[in-house]
Amino acid sequence: MIKLIHNNSRKAHAEGRDSGQFSDRQTLILNALKELGQATDRELCDYLELPDMNCVRPRVTELIKKHLQLEECGTRCCPCTGKIVRVVRIKPWADRNQLEINYA
């Protein structure tokens, strides 16, 4: 999978991770979304094999509101609950000077 990530974005993420800005769980979620592209909270929970949805939901909300790393990009019907749930992804950067990174 090929992702376009701006150099400044990569630097900010690395600085946040290295400075302790992101918790271990937030870093797991960011890494999972690099692999999945976009996901619901339940899909993240299942992918990370976490025992409870409360391990994911608050961290995703923090990454959206506090750290501005994620964004809601749509909704879909959850096959487990039948309810409409949010879908999140790592924010795409609008700058045309993107760096191509291969996440093979």
Contacts with 34 (C-beta within 8 Å, 6 or more apart), sequence order: 3, 90, 103
CA–CA separation, 94 and 67 (whole Å): 18
Give yes or no for residue 1 having a pLDDT over 50. no
Please, where are the H alpha helices in 19-80? 24-36, 41-47, 57-65
Domain range for residue 59? 2-102
Total domain count for the chain?
A: 1
Q: Is the dihedral of CA 37, 40, 41, 47 positive or negative?
A: negative
pLDDT of amino acid 102: 47
CATH of the domain at 50: 1.10.10.10
3 state DSSP class of 47: helix
Q: What pLDDT, in 10s, does the model give residues 39-79?
A: 999 999 999 999 999 999 999 999 999 888 899 999 999 99
Q: Report percent pLDDT > 90 for the chain.
A: 59
Question: Which range, of 12-16, 38-42, 56-60, 93-97, averages the lowest pLDDT?
Answer: 93-97
What band does 16 get if pLDDT is binned at 50, 70 and 90?
low
